[in-house]
Structure 1
């Protein structure tokens, strides 16, 4: 799977519920909003105590102070979360964080692990041997951005040089190493040869961050941001927005690319309203999503929120009338909360519904493990 396709897959996971709901907006018209009369689900609307503690523990990196004999002693820089520091800066950018470790130890994570282990764990063992990294123990977070991918965790035993083959590596900055793509010779069916160059570069910072970019310059730019050489702008994801098992911002352009061509009107309407959609997904029990749309024109935001709310209400009634159980389950929890220049879309999928859909994974895993004995 190439890098572009891999990014689209992960972004598709992050945006799926939002896109489904937005498309349903065109199923009906009206001005009334759905009543909040469905089953109760805990939605991720703010940081909780354990998430604040998690954020505080991640403030481990203090940028080196630059000595200046002509000035008084400088105040020691505040510790930062290196991953947040490495993220892109500025509006209209995409960055989605998946709390891999937290997700792994959630009910949903157990179901996903069954799906990963359907072959009895052979593929996971191969990953461990080839990379020197155990995804179930060493990986903390996974991030998809419009520049590439980042992973945080413990990579002290990772076999970076072996994984990168003939890549050329060199130290960069204070504590990083960059692996630039090497060339390889491919033999064609007719016996002739062709020299090809890999289209990705990799950077490793302090054995804590693993960065993948399309070019070495993109990887170096991420390292520069961590070490304080980047632009003087806040990270695209502030620390007080790091709650849920998945969170971040999706650019409207990325969402528009996920929509089918027949939804061009919707894509343009989203572009007219906002640059980004802030996303939070809680998977600690039921899977609950909150997507916040914010724009400079409060009237346009309010109008879009009302249309979406009315359409969701009509779509829910239609699904119930036509016996569409799965769609009705999804829409039972859907609602829109307008608030001036923002509105929040909330949707959820019950844990029991997910267990039912993924039951085959556990059965296949048990079968594979029994065969291996």
Structure 2
């Protein structure tokens, strides 16, 4: 139970970032001129720290392929990042990586930690004791895909057998173990008991990866990709795109499903025009996000950008008329930049704004740790914004 609770915490964080990305689909730049842009360094390419991080993660070397019939020796495999190798292959996939450890030590990470520990850290400590894993120290990355979720980090001390004892487990491949749920008994409200089969599965690989999928076949496919048995296609995210505290690709269908009903026509246009959406979020100071929308036809992509710009203008007017200052401010800092068969959406949220909105989390965490009732109303609202955690 504790494991599921903690897993849901990280999923909430992932869902929050997905919502921000989905909202960006409505953002563009209309004809009216907005306020001066923030002085923000947007994530548009790999920087030196990103490259160094990527190099450190090339820890896996596949066995050298046997010589060919012609007698020519095969070239040794290049070291690679096992997490990237585990990602889905082919176009139209969703794979978003959250740099949990980097985000934890970013300014916004300190604020999110306050919100996650508003109980004084009791649930986190219980999870540490029972699982042998400290999410704040041992978790490196979290990945959300169409097929489920992956976590990478140091799981050497994890007590998987204790946590997953009710599941049927078996070794798989060279360094993995797959846990299947099997059947369970469920008692109905009328007192009758029925058997229900849970098809979900979990796999561990070399104490470095944890794969959660909808079925045993899905988690086994991820392990196959890691160990070189998968299809010979590039992963959904290339190493050159691993920059920022969050990055990845979203399928157009996933984004379209998040559009509100009144924007159904715009959602369908997105399906018809775009191929994928690549996004990068930087949280090293202010929160800056860049989402690139690509499509085969430059004219159609340009028209789509204009439509999104019109949706932005209408949303901004409604937000201002309804005195929704938070939404109006978010829309004011968003803009779209066309570039042939693609356009990029950029958004920046000042750290000071986030500190103000999340100040209540720090007050509730302090109150829980001190064993007192938290301040409410305007008292908590005027508390000084917390200092960034770096």
Q: Same fold (TM over 0.5)?
A: yes
How many equivalent pairs are there? 366
In 1, the alpha carbon distance for the partners of 2:186 and 2:96 equals 36
Q: Which runs of 5+ in 1 are unaligned?
A: none
Cα deviation for residue 144 of structure 1 reads 0.3
Contact 1:245 1:283 in 2 (8 A): yes
Partner residue of 2:242? Answer: 242
Q: After superposition, what is the alpha-carbon deviation per residue over 1:42-72, rounded to whole angstroms, capped at 9, x for unaligned?
A: 2111111101100010011011123348533
Cα deviation for residue 17 of structure 1 reads 3.2
Q: Which SS does the other structure have where 2:127 is aligned? A: helix
Partner residue of 1:129? Answer: 129
> In the alignment, which of 14, 17, 27 is matched to residue 14 of structure 1?
17
Contact 2:34 2:333 in 1 (8 A): no
Q: After superposition, what is the alpha-carbon deviation per residue over 1:317-369, rounded to whole angstroms, capped at 9, x for unaligned?
A: 66557654222321232111100000000012111111111111100100011
Partner residue of 1:371? Answer: 371
Q: Which runs of 5+ in 2 are unaligned?
A: 373-390
Partner residue of 1:351? Answer: 351
For residues 321 and 260 of structure 1, do their structure 2 counterparts lie closer, same or farther at Cα, with a shift above 3 Å needed? closer
Cα deviation for residue 130 of structure 1 reads 2.5
Partner residue of 1:166? Answer: 166
Contact 2:88 2:236 in 1 (8 A): yes
Q: After superposition, what is the alpha-carbon deviation per residue over 1:89-117, rounded to whole angstroms, capped at 9, x for unaligned?
A: 11111001000000000110000110111
Partner residue of 2:228? Answer: 228
Contact 2:119 2:365 in 1 (8 A): yes
Partner residue of 1:59? Answer: 58
Contact 1:274 1:295 in 2 (8 A): yes
Cα deviation for residue 284 of structure 1 reads 1.2
Given the alignment of the two structures, is residue 270 of structure 1 paired with residue 273 of structure 2, yes or no?
A: no
Q: After superposition, what is the alpha-carbon deviation per residue over 1:266-295, rounded to whole angstroms, capped at 9, x for unaligned?
A: 210110111311011111111111000000
Partner residue of 1:194? Answer: 194
Q: TM-score, normalised by structure 2?
A: 0.87
Contact 1:7 1:144 in 2 (8 A): no
In 2, the alpha carbon distance for the partners of 1:264 and 1:309 equals 16
Contact 1:166 1:183 in 2 (8 A): no
Partner residue of 1:217? Answer: 217
Contact 1:94 1:250 in 2 (8 A): yes
In 1, the alpha carbon distance for the partners of 2:272 and 2:180 equals 39
Contact 1:147 1:213 in 2 (8 A): yes
For residues 101 and 24 of structure 1, do their structure 2 counterparts lie closer, same or farther at Cα, with a shift above 3 Å needed? closer
In 2, the alpha carbon distance for the partners of 1:306 and 1:72 equals 55
Partner residue of 2:339? Answer: 339
For residues 154 and 130 of structure 1, do their structure 2 counterparts lie closer, same or farther at Cα, with a shift above 3 Å needed? same
For residues 67 and 121 of structure 1, do their structure 2 counterparts lie closer, same or farther at Cα, with a shift above 3 Å needed? same
Partner residue of 1:296? Answer: 296
Q: Superposed, which structure 2 residues align to 1:60-209 within 5 Å?
A: 60-68=59-67, 70=69, 71-209=71-209
Q: Which SS does the other structure have where 1:133 is aligned? A: coil
Q: Which SS does the other structure have where 2:150 is aligned? A: strand
Cα deviation for residue 120 of structure 1 reads 0.7
Q: Superposed, which structure 2 residues align to 1:316-335 within 5 Å?
A: 316=316, 319=319, 323-335=323-335
In 1, the alpha carbon distance for the partners of 2:19 and 2:347 equals 11
Cα deviation for residue 128 of structure 1 reads 1.2
Cα deviation for residue 310 of structure 1 reads 4.9
For residues 321 and 297 of structure 1, do their structure 2 counterparts lie closer, same or farther at Cα, with a shift above 3 Å needed? same
Contact 1:247 1:280 in 2 (8 A): yes
Provide the alpha-carbon RMSD of the alignment. 2.5
